[in-house]
């Protein structure tokens, strides 16, 4: 334009015009050059933007709205769906749109699609996809918008992800891979400073190239990025108690497990008691433990035994636990009390424990340490009447008088019927060997405790030995295979252990379960040395030649596995420094033998099948109880009614057996199962039985239904049916399985004993899960229960009987088990099972007590009779018993008194308290650790010896558990034991309160300290009394580590890493908070219950309902915590679906970050809120979470989200405020607990929407 103007105006000035044109061309050229430079620059910017395109856009969005980004991507989602979900927590729709200047979702999607054309985008909000024409909805951290990025072309393998745009612009994939760095916070910027500077560091990615790897689609890089930060709960990081014992070679290579016997498994699942299955059920099954009996004389092997306890046992226990096994070393030095030693019961006690090791150990069970001392040779405690009379016949008159004075005839000992003899362990002596050796059947002469045998010990031993040599003069007492009675008068206790443990083991076992170590001294032991009496048998100061000859003959009977010859250490014999190398080698060989035994035990294992194993346990329980069943008139009547029901049915209804506690319902149910499984329907039907409360999987209704449904699915060929995890769905599937799967060709008999034994989780005792009416003709359901029981303050009551009466509404469906009508017959039957009887005078005392009973005493029931029979089995024929209590409570408390006198009052009090106060019982190993924290208990146990570690020897607990075995059942997890009868639980509480009202609180505190691992790795000082005893053996020692385990919430794995296998500490999850509440530990309760980690693991373990009950219990126990725990409960109630989501385990932590500053759950994330320091267990996890800096500081009024089947139209609270009824548009009325959110029942029948609900006055 300028040029044209110049030509028109200045046409005559051509020269000037040319000059202007040149200048104009130069200007135009410059302008063009500038435009080209700008175009190139824009192109470069666009390319750079496209390289990081989508992620830079997301970053801009987030930086513009103070939000954050969390890439929710898992290996499974990428593999199956080719998509990544991005959480966009915008505070308002205005801020969301302001960055890109769009008004609708569709326009926003167009912008994204233009920038990254090879990916498709969609948005979800509150569980639904948002259409393109919608305006952005209001959202926040609780209801975010989710941006779904999906590769075009749909699903498929991750390798099919299209090449991202960055490759199209020439960026090599190797460059991208090399640029990937772990997610990390912005360096140098703390959360507090970011808030002050109004900066957004919620985007925890410092470089966009990290995000580019996500678009690249490299699966391994994605998982590395998301899981790069070290997570809490890694078992490898935990300090090990065995740090100083790392020299042991703990090589265990588990071989492949054997295949299961499919035919036998099918018989178990169908419940058909064929002969092959019966034989298998009657063989004792070893536990998942290696229990080794240490056999030797005590004084000369003290250093070896101490070394095993101090260095070996902790290491093996830790190593074995990794394979699901327990390890115990049975040390008899602390198992024999003074009274038992005076009564010459040492041999009996040792043989009983040896048989226990042979029965329960899955591998090595006997280790003999052969040294230079033969050991104690006591007279037999019991001698069979015929044998004793043979001995008297060849004695002098003086010796006869001595023998009759020391021994008294007991005619109450009888012959045990063969069918009632307990089965022998697989690895012990054969039945023939045991019967020839233990000829205790029939009347016996018993050594008298009242006459001190030590006064005439030498005389009675010599008299019995000389007489035995005459009676059995033709027998060789040194024949290894001989089980002659002669040996009982010749050999020592140690050799008797040696015979039972090593010589008489079954030939097929060989030496696989036995190890022999031999140690001797070069040049022998000088008898005059001060330490000689500990290492060799002496009479005065001279060597006991006879004992040494017997020792040489004994040791010649078997070849040792390992042998050492050592120099004698003057004044010590064994010196820990001089013989350090020997002691280390000894421990190494011991560890090697135990690890090899574990490998052999693992090699014998079959593929685990939890369903079959659970069904088998209940069949074994039924077989055991049915074998002891006695036909009393009341039992026969009830059993006949059950049998009639099984054969004829009852109009599609279940049949209920009920009676007071201890009435013998379980024995009747066991006999009913036995008859049903062997009856006419057994050949083609299915019999499923559960004795509730006897196993871990039968104590909670959810576990029970899961187990039963899986068994029914396999019995009826429905294995392809998925078992739901949600309890409501599981209960519906259970009803379907019971009512629809059976057929006339394959009927079902379902036996559920003691439904009152269920706990209250999922409202188990409300019985809404149990359909007892409208059963098909091919289904029989037999149930037993107690009468209704009122809440007594310590334990909640139940109304199972009333609920069943209401549901069935037919007295013909019930049969009551009444008192025993012929007590004498039953008592004699039970005594005969124990190989005992009573005199007529003693029986009169028992019958008088039976006749004086009251209704409230629960006397006259099989439980009372059983307790009486066990008490009477201790009576000798010359014993004059006092009146027997007619009350079961008093009878049990008398039993506890006797046990306390026998084992030690404080020890028994602590054991009974732990069994009673633990919710799910307590295991032997756990109990040993708890008792080790009590110095008074340790002082009582250390009567003769002090071990090298301050831990209660397991044999002490084993003996008490053996005394209580008839009254205990497995509960909870692992080998935990709890009372089977409610009467024992109540009696134990009363007995403990009688001794010390505050005792319960102290035991709760000790249990809480154990489950929290409070004393793990820390020395605990001794009390003065324990110091005095310990320093007799270890001068100067005033404190010691009690070797209590750490008890973390996770045993293995990483909780917040979805790819890692997690092993939860279910024992701590079930017990710790409960004991803190019982001990009054207010701060500990608040800290644990408000911990996001605890909340997450509790729900992951399926204990969400228990968690909410713990919160209620905490608020009731501590009024000061009502607000804090109420806020925690409201947090869980509002996010209940999030808590129950296993796919995103860190979701609870994310929700906790979004809580107000005053929230106890948010406080649980930080060590210090002032500095913003996150607790150790959450380090790294905050990199995955959104930090909502503008979050509200007021609490949401929502307390609980209740499940509904459809839109809710009306609600009504019950009068007690504990339940709420909801009417829905689908015609369903749902009743829920306002405490836990559990659905108590669903009422059907409406054909249209329910518009109003109300509760009746009752």
Residues 146, 157: Cα–Cα separation, whole Å: 23
Residue 423 has pLDDT above 50, yes or no: no
Tokens of 1166: 């930080």
Q: Is the pLDDT of residue 98 over 50?
A: no
Q: Sorting pLDDT into bands at 50, 70 and 90, what band is 433?
A: very low
pLDDT tens-digit profile of 397-406?
A: 999 999 998 8
* Confidence (pLDDT) at 284: 66
Return the percentage of the chain with pLDDT > 70, whole number.
74
Summarised one tens digit per residue, pLDDT across range 1160-1209 is 988 888 876 666 677 777 766 666 676 776 777 888 777 777 878 788 99
Q: Residue 82 pLDDT more than 50?
A: no
pLDDT at site 751:
92
The pLDDT tens digits of the residues spanning 9-27 come to: 444 454 555 566 667 777 7
pLDDT of residue 148: 54
Q: Which residues of 209-232 are buried (b: 16+ CB within 10 A; e: fewer)?
A: bbbbbbbbbbbebbbebbbebebb
pLDDT bracket for residue 87 (50, 70, 90) = very low
Count of residues in the chain: 1258
SS3 at position 409: strand
**Mean pLDDT, range 335-350, rounded to an integer:** 73
Does residue 164 carry a pLDDT above 50? no
Q: Could you give the count of Cα atoms lying within 13 Å of 219 in the half-sphere of its Cβ?
A: 15
More confident residue, 188 or 605: 605
590 has a pLDDT exceeding 90: yes
pLDDT value of residue 454: 58
pLDDT at 167 over 80: no
pLDDT tens digits, one per residue of 653-668: 999 999 887 778 888 8
As a whole number of angstroms, the distance between CA 243 and CA 108 comes to 60
pLDDT tens digit string along 449-486? 655 555 677 888 889 999 999 998 888 878 888 888 88
Q: What's the pLDDT at 138?
A: 56
Q: Which residue has the higher pLDDT, 46 or 783?
A: 783
Q: What is the pLDDT of residues 766-783, one digit of tens each?
A: 888 899 999 999 999 999
pLDDT for residue 62 = 40
Out of 169-183, 329-343, 957-971, least confident range: 169-183
- Is a pLDDT exceeding 60 seen at residue 159? no
State the average pLDDT for the chain: 76
Please give the full DSSP string across 1096-1127, using - where no structure is assigned.
HHHHHTT-HHHHHHHHHHHHHH-GGGHHHHHH
Mean pLDDT throughout 835-859? 80
25 or 1047, higher pLDDT? 1047
- Residue 173: pLDDT band (50, 70, 90) is very low
Range name among 178-192, 254-268, 578-592, 955-969 with the lowest pLDDT average: 178-192
Looking at the DSSP bridge assignments, the partners of residue 368 are 295, 516
Cα 275 to Cα 272, 281, 1124, 1171: the distances in Å are 9, 10, 61, 72
Long-range contacts of 251-256 (CB under 8 A, 24+ apart): 251/595, 252/319, 252/323, 252/595, 252/598, 252/599, 252/602, 253/599, 254/323, 254/599, 254/602, 255/599, 255/602, 255/603
Characterize the bridge pairing of strands 779-785 and 814-816: unpaired
User: Which is more confidently placed, 65 or 316?
Assistant: 316
Q: Please check the confidence at residue 160 and state whether its pLDDT lies above 60.
A: no
What is the torsion angle, in degrees rounded to the nearest 10, for the CA atoms of residue 77, residue 78, residue 80 and residue 86? 50
pLDDT of 738 above 90: yes
pLDDT at 421: 44
Is residue 651 packed enough to be buried (19+ CB in 10 Å), middle (13-18) or exposed (0-12)? Answer: exposed
Per-residue pLDDT averaged across 368-380, rounded?
Answer: 90
Which residues contact residue 1248 at a Cβ distance below 8 angstroms, ignoring those fewer than 6 apart? 1227
Residue 1007 binned pLDDT confidence (cut-offs 50, 70, 90)? very high
Q: How confident is the model over 515-522, as a mean pLDDT? A: 94
Beta strands in 275-354 (DSSP E): 289-295, 326-330
Q: In this predicted structure, what is the pLDDT of residue 1199?
A: 77
Query: In the numeric block, which tokens belong to residue 918?
Result: 């633990």
Q: Which residue has the higher pLDDT, 1254 or 1136?
A: 1254
Mean pLDDT of all residues in 165-192: 31
Question: Rounded to two decimals, what is the model's pTM?
Answer: 0.69
Please report the DSSP string for 935-999 in residue order.
HHHHHHH-SS---SSSS--HHHHHHHHHHHGGGEEE-SSTT-EEESSHHHHHHHHHHHHHH-TTH
Residue 395 is predicted with a pLDDT of 93
Residue 415 scores a pLDDT above 50: yes
Contact 250, 595 (CB under 8 A): yes
CB atoms within 10 A of CB 1244: 8
| pLDDT above 80 (res 60) | no
1086 in Cβ contact with 1124 (< 8 Å)? yes
Asked whether residue 734 carries a pLDDT value surpassing 90, the answer given is: yes
The H or E element spanning position 543 is: strand 542-543
CB-based contact 28:1 (threshold 8 Å)? no
Closest CA to 1114 of 1073, 1062, 1056, 1164: 1073
Give yes or no for residue 233 having a pLDDT over 80: no
Please state, for a pLDDT cut of 90, what percent of the chain lies above it: 20
Q: What is the mean pLDDT of residues 372-382?
A: 88
Residue 50 has pLDDT above 60, yes or no: no
Does the pLDDT value for residue 367 go beyond 90?
A: yes
pLDDT score, position 1066? 85
């Amino acid at each position: 334009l300028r040029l044209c103007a110049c030509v028109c105006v200045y046409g005559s000035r051509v020269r000037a015009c040319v000059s202007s044109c040149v200048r104009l061309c130069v200007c135009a050229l410059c302008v063009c050059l500038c435009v080209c430079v700008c175009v190139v620059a824009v192109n470069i910017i666009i390319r750079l933007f496209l390289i990081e395109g989508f992620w830079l856009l997301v970053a801009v969005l987030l930086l513009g709205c103070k939000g954050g980004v969390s890439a929710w991507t898992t290996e499974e989602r990428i593999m199956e769906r080719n998509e990544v979900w991005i959480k966009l927590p915008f505070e308002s729709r205005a801020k969301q749109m302001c960055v890109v200047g769009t008004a609708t979702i569709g326009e926003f999607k167009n912008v994204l699609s233009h920038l990254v054309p090879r990916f498709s985008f969609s948005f979800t909000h509150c569980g639904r996809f948002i259409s393109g024409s919608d305006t952005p909805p209001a959202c926040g951290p609780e209801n975010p918008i989710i941006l779904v990025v999906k590769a075009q072309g749909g699903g498929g393998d991750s390798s099919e992800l299209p090449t991202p745009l960055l490759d199209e612009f020439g960026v090599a994939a190797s460059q991208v891979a090399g640029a990937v760095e772990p997610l990390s916070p912005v360096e140098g910027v703390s959360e507090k400073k970011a808030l002050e500077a109004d900066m957004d560091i919620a985007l925890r990615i410092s470089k966009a190239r990290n995000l580019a790897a996500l678009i690249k689609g490299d699966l391994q890089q994605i998982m590395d990025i998301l899981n790069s930060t070290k997570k809490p709960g890694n078992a490898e990081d935990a300090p090990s108690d065995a740090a100083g014992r790392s020299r042991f070679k703990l090589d265990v290579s588990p071989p492949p497990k054997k295949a299961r016997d499919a035919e036998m498994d099918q018989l178990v699942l169908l419940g058909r008691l064929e002969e092959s299955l019966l034989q298998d059920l009657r063989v004792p099954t070893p536990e998942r433990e290696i229990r080794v009996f240490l056999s030797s004389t005590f004084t000369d092997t003290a250093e070896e035994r101490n070394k095993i306890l101090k260095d070996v046992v902790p290491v093996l226990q830790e190593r074995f636990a990794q394979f699901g096994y327990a390890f115990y070393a049975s040390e008899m030095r602390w198992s024999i009390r003074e009274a038992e030693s005076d009564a010459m019961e040492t041999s009996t006690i040792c043989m009983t424990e040896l048989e226990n090791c042979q029965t329960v150990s899955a591998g090595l069970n006997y280790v003999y340490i052969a040294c230079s001392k033969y050991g104690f040779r006591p007279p037999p405690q019991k001698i069979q009447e015929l044998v004793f009379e043979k001995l008297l016949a060849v004695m002098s008159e003086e010796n006869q008088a001595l023998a009759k004075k020391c021994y008294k005839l007991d005619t109450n000992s009888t012959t045990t019927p063969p069918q009632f003899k307990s089965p022998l362990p697989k690895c012990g002596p054969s039945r023939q060997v045991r019967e020839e050796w233990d000829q205790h059947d029939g009347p016996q002469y018993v050594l008298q405790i009242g006459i001190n045998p030590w006064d005439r010990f030498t005389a009675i031993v010599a008299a019995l030995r000389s007489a035995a040599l005459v009676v059995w003069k033709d027998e060789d007492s040194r024949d290894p295979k001989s089980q002659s009675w002669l040996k009982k008068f010749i050999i020592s206790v140690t050799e008797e252990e040696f015979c039972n443990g090593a010589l008489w083991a079954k030939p097929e076992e060989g030496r696989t379960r036995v190890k022999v170590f031999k140690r001797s001294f070069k040049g022998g032991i000088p008898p005059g040395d001060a330490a000689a009496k500990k290492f060799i048998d002496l009479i005065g100061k001279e060597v006991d030649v006879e004992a040494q000859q017997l020792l040489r003959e004994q040791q010649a009977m078997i070849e040792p596995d390992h042998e050492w010859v050592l120099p004698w250490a003057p004044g010590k014999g064994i010196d820990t420094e001089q013989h350090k190398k020997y002691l280390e080698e000894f421990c190494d060989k011991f560890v090697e033998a135990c690890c090899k035994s574990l490998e052999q035990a693992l090699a014998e294992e079959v593929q685990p099948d939890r369903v079959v194993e659970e069904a088998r346990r209940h069949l074994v329980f039924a077989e055991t109880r049915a074998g002891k069943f006695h036909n009393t008139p009341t039992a026969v009547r009830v059993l006949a009614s059950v049998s009639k029901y099984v054969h004829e049915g009852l109009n599609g209804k279940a049949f209920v057996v009920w009676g007071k506690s201890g009435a013998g319902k379980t024995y009747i149910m066991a006999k009913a199962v036995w008859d049903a499984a062997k009856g006419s329907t057994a050949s083609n039907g299915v019999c499923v039985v559960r004795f509730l409360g006897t196993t871990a999987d039968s104590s909670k209704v959810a576990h029970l239904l899961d187990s039963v449904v899986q068994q029914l699915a396999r019995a009826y060929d429905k294995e392809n049916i998925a078992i739901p995890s949600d309890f409501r769905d599981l209960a519906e599937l259970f009803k379907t399985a019971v009512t629809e799967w059976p057929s006339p060709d394959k009927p079902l008999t379902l036996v559920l004993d003691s439904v009152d034994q269920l706990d209250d989780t999922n409202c188990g005792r409300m019985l809404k899960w149990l359909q007892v009416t409208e059963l098909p003709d091919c289904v029989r359901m037999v149930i037993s229960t107690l009468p209704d029981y009122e809440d007594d303050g310590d334990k909640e009551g139940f109304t199972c009987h009333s609920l069943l009466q209401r549901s069935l509404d037919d007295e013909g469906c019930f049969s009551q088990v009444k008192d025993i009508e012929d007590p004498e017959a039953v008592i004699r039957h039970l005594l005969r099972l124990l190989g005992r009887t009573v005199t007529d005078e003693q029986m009169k005392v028992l019958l008088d007590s039976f006749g004086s009973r009251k209704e409230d005493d629960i006397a006259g029931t099989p439980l009372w009779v059983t307790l009486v029979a066990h008490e009477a089995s201790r009576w000798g024929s010359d014993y004059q018993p006092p009146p027997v209590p007619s009350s079961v409570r008093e009878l049990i408390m008398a039993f506890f008194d006797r046990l306390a006198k026998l084992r030690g009052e404080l020890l028994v009090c602590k054991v009974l308290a732990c069994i009673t106060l633990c919710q799910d019982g307590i295991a032997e190993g756990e109990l040993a650790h708890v008792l080790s924290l009590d110095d008074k208990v340790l002082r009582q146990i250390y009567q003769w010896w002090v071990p090298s570690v301050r831990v209660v020897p397991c044999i002490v607990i084993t003996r008490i558990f053996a005394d209580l075995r008839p009254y205990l059942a497995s509960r909870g997890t692992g080998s935990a034991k709890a009372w089977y009868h409610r009467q024992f639980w109540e009696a134990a509480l009363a007995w403990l309160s009688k001794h010390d009202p505050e005792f319960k609180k102290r035991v709760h505190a000790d249990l809480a300290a154990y489950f929290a691992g409070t004393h793990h790795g820390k020395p605990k000082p001794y009390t003065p009394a324990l110091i005095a005893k310990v320093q007799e053996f270890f001068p100067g020692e005033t404190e010691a580590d009690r070797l209590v385990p750490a008890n973390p919430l996770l045993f293995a794995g990483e909780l917040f890493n979805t790819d890692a296998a997690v092993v939860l500490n279910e024992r701590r999850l079930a017990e710790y908070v409960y004991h803190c509440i019982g001990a009054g530990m207010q701060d500990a309760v608040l800290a644990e219950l408000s911990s996001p980690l605890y909340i997450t693991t509790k729900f992951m373990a399926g204990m969400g309902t228990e968690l909410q009950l713990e919160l209620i219990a905490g608020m009731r126990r501590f009024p000061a915590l009502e607000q804090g725990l109420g806020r925690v409960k409201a947090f869980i109630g509002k996010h209940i679906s999030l808590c129950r989501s296993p796919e995103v385990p860190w979701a609870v932590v994310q929700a906790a970050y979004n809580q107000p500053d005053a929230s106890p759950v948010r406080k649980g994330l930080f060590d210090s809120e002032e500095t913003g320091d996150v607790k150790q267990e959450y380090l790294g996890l905050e990199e995955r979470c959104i930090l909502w800096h503008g979050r509200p500081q007021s609490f949401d009024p929502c307390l609980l989200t209740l499940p509904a089947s459809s839109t809710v139209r009306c609600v009504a609270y019950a009068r007690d405020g504990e339940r709420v009824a909801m009417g829905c548009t689908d015609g369903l009325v749902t009743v829920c607990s306002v405490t836990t959110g559990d659905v108590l029942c669903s009422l059907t029948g409406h054909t249209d929407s329910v518009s109003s609900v109300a509760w009746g006055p009752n």
